[in-house]
Amino acid sequence: MEITVADFIEKVANEAYQTELQLVSATEVQGTKLEKHLYEMVSLFGQLMEEGQLAQVTCRAENAGQVTEYSLESGIINLPFADVKKVDNFFDDLETTVEVKVNLIVKDENLNASKFRIDSLLTVAELLADPSQGLQVISDRALALSQVIQNNLEVAEVTAEV
């Protein structure tokens, strides 16, 4: 899937993209339960990409004010839709046609100092050509980040006890 930089900016700025939000319990974004939700997210995201739409598919868990989000967004660089106004800084010609990428965005207080991580993992064309491989790439990265969150949470709990 390809798009011009100008078209991408216009569509995202005007919120002309599909959004799906899945609310789950905090235990649903850990281990094999997370894998199930990732499968659902990738399947839905792939369907929207096949239709030629830009999309944001999110799985959000909340527990006692703590929010964890895993999102897939169609992007042209590794910036979230929220930062669309910065996209033009990375291109000399806004009429340039570029590949649409699959960005994995993870938000959690215990992830890192910025509480945010974005990874451009593959192109939409690669995801559509081999959905099972795309799911594997996305799952591997999401599960690794889930483990980072869990490790940091455990360290924070031990530190709080001292």
Q: How do residues 114-139 score in pLDDT, each as one tens digit?
A: 999 999 999 999 999 999 999 999 99
Domain limits for position 18: 2-161
pLDDT of residue 32: 76
More confident residue, 79 or 151: 79
Per the prediction, the chain carries an average pLDDT of 92
pLDDT over 60 (residue 96): yes
pLDDT of residue 71: 97
pLDDT of residue 43: 95
Q: How many helices (H) and strands (E) does the chain have?
A: 4, 7
- Specify whether the CB–CB gap between 104 and 72 falls below 8 A: yes
pLDDT over 90 (residue 69): yes
pTM of the model as a whole:
0.91
Domains in the chain: how many in total?
A: 1
CA–CA distances in Å: residue 60 to residues 18, 22, 27, 71, 107:
17, 6, 11, 8, 9
Confidence of residue 161 (pLDDT cuts 50, 70, 90): low
Q: Where are the beta strands (DSSP E) in 25-115?
A: 55-63, 66-75, 97-99, 101-108
- Residue 59, classed as helix, strand or coil, is strand
Nearest to 107 by CA among 62, 48, 138, 139: 62
Q: Residue range 19-35: average pLDDT?
A: 83
pLDDT over 90 (residue 13): yes
**Cβ-based neighbour number of residue 40 at 10 Å:** 14
More confident residue, 101 or 148: 101
pLDDT over 90 (residue 33): no
